[in-house]
Amino acid sequence: MKLTTLASLLSLASAKVLQLDFNRTVASGGHRKVTLPEGKATNLTIPMEHDLALYTAKIQVGTPPQEFLVQIDTGSSDLWIFDSNDDCDGGCSQFGLFETNASTTYKNLLPGNFSISYGDHSYANGDWVADTVVVQGVEIPHQQFGLAKASNATPAILGIGLPGLEAADKEYINTPKSLYLNGDIGSYTYSLYLNDLQATQGSLLFGGIDKSKFSGPLQTLPMVSNHAFWVTLSQLDIKSETKNKTVNALDVPGRVLLDSGTTLTYLPTVVFETICKEWALDMDEKYGAIIPEYRLQQLQDEFLEYNLQGIVIKVSIKQLFRPTYTGDPLNTIARYPNGQQAYSLLITPNGNETDELILGDSFLRSAYVVYDLPNLQISLAQASYSGDARQIEPINPGLNEVPGATKVMDWGAVYSNVPISTTVDYEPTTFTLHPRPFNSTLNDTSSE
């Protein structure tokens, strides 16, 4: 990581923006269980295991400050950390354990009242507390957050979503809003840049945009919810940079959640099957959709084209597969019987044809996303991995718009509750994989 000079930090402060850099790490065993609706026929094996990619940033809590690693999560709205007495079987110590007795500014607000759970069935229970929270050198006094005393080894979370997703019984001022109300940032907005799949770092910019992090136009579309970052996905196509081909996988508007706390992208089963068929993917009951290395190389010019009310985001196949590891021992390569390394698709079926579609990290890495919370709008552009010097511009709340962004033409063409499965020209019950479907045929070996 390039060192940030004092001058650049002062420049950011004067512009009323705050940049929080974070690191990407991979932890084994992260998964989200997926079940098909009763009576739904399919020849596919649903993936049951995936490595969990975490985007974690450092913050400090307490007086004197204690350091913690927290996962950046747009899909939730609460900050919470682990108590030193949390019963998490030792899995949480890597994220930091809070010693309440060591902080002179700590206050327990609601003992036993904190409880939160997530889509992967992970949870954290404990107390609602308040203390000084420090984000990138900026102090937030008396910030409310959750202190977990019982959890199932979920990473500590910095939820930056809308207040409607807060786990508290009564709405409170969460971390991003505190930064704005305290005058530390000029607008109640932020921009998310996850960076390339191979990169280890990304950034969250409160109160502004960085023009060096995207290419092409920045366009704005409305959220279709006032409590979470749901937007409208109008169409999804499979395309090629060199071949004149377009395979439609989705052509009816659907509601999708932009969620940085989810590693994979969750699409309707029939859309997932269409992608698998077009790219001739194999199946493994443990690792889901996989492909040998040589075949992946043959598809390097392929990409998915997401259309969100006219905003086009291209996701290269290079951003959609990662090496498959067995996790036993950690980082052992999973291979085909012929020795070819297996690569796993970072897309999975959601098990529900009309709801709970999630555009997770495997989509968000290809997009630059600006979240305008008070106006319930999101601006998107194609992410750039050029590494150019940053070009930060603050977002002026008085202008009621993101600098340089234009609204989509079909502003009113938002999600409607139409069953997606009825409009895809593909019948999943007759789906067959090429060259063959199989279950549990990967060899676990670390040999090259």
Cα separation of 238 and 236, whole Å?
7
Q: Verify that 257 and 397 share a domain, yes or no.
A: yes
Does residue 193 form part of some domain?
no
pLDDT, position 332: 80
Does residue 196 form part of some domain?
no
Q: Given pLDDT bands bounded at 50, 70 and 90, which one contains residue 441?
A: very low
Strands 157-159 and 79-87 come out as antiparallel
Q: Verify that 230 and 365 share a domain, yes or no.
A: yes
Hunting for tokens 């194999």 — which residue is that? Answer: 282
| Number of compact structural domains in the chain | 2
Active-site choice (78, 127, 259, 361): 259
What are the helix (H) ranges across 91-158? Answer: none
Q: Given pLDDT bands bounded at 50, 70 and 90, which one contains residue 19?
A: very high
DSSP conformation class of 333: B
Q: How big is the chain by its Cα radius of gyration, in Å? A: 22
Distances (CA, A) of 295 to 143, 279, 280, 443: 51, 9, 9, 18
Does residue 134 form part of some domain?
yes
Active-site choice (51, 73, 86, 127): 73
Q: Could you read off the pLDDT of 273-285 as tens digits, one per residue?
A: 999 999 999 988 7
Q: Could you read off the pLDDT of 136-151 as tens digits, one per residue?
A: 999 999 999 999 999 9
Q: Given pLDDT bands bounded at 50, 70 and 90, which one contains residue 447?
A: very low
Q: Verify that 292 and 438 share a domain, yes or no.
A: yes
Q: Verify that 331 and 416 share a domain, yes or no.
A: yes
73 carries an active-site annotation: yes
Q: Could you read off the pLDDT of 392-431 as tens digits, one per residue?
A: 999 998 777 899 999 999 888 776 554 444 344 433 222 2
Cα separation of 16 and 236, whole Å?
37
Domain that holds residue 156: 21-181
Specify the higher pLDDT residue, 91 or 430: 91
How far is C-alpha 254 from the geometric centre of its chain's CA atoms?
18
pLDDT, position 86: 86
State what percent of residues in the chain have pLDDT above 70: 80
Q: Given pLDDT bands bounded at 50, 70 and 90, which one contains residue 14?
A: low
361 carries an active-site annotation: no
Please say if the pLDDT value at position 103 is more than 80: yes
Which of 114-123, 156-165, 254-263, 326-335 is predicted with the least confidence, judged by mean pLDDT? 326-335
Q: Verify that 29 and 136 share a domain, yes or no.
A: yes
pLDDT, position 426: 36
pLDDT, position 440: 36
Domain end: 162, 181, 200, which one?
181
Cα separation of 35 and 49, whole Å?
13
pLDDT, position 286: 78
Task: Name the helix (H) or strand (E) containing 323.
Answer: strand 321-323
Hunting for tokens 């090259």 — which residue is that? Answer: 448
CB 96 within 8 A of CB 156: yes
Please say if the pLDDT value at position 119 is more than 50: yes
Which of 44-48, 155-159, 371-375 is predicted with the least confidence, judged by mean pLDDT? 44-48
Global pTM reads 0.87
The token pair that represents 128 in the structure block: 């609602």
The C-alpha angle 92, 2, 264, rounded to 5 degrees, equals 45
Closest CA to 371 of 235, 256, 222, 178: 222
Please say if the pLDDT value at position 341 is more than 60: yes
In CATH, what number is assigned to the domain containing residue 284? 2.40.70.10
Does residue 192 form part of some domain?
no
pLDDT, position 439: 37
pLDDT, position 421: 47
The C-alpha angle 215, 158, 67, rounded to 5 degrees, equals 110
Tell me what the mean pLDDT of segment 66-84 comes to: 95
State what percent of residues in the chain have pLDDT above 90: 62
The rounded mean pLDDT for the chain is 83
Please say if the pLDDT value at position 70 is more than 90: yes
Q: Verify that 290 and 368 share a domain, yes or no.
A: yes
Distances (CA, A) of 440 to 50, 81, 84, 151: 15, 38, 41, 32
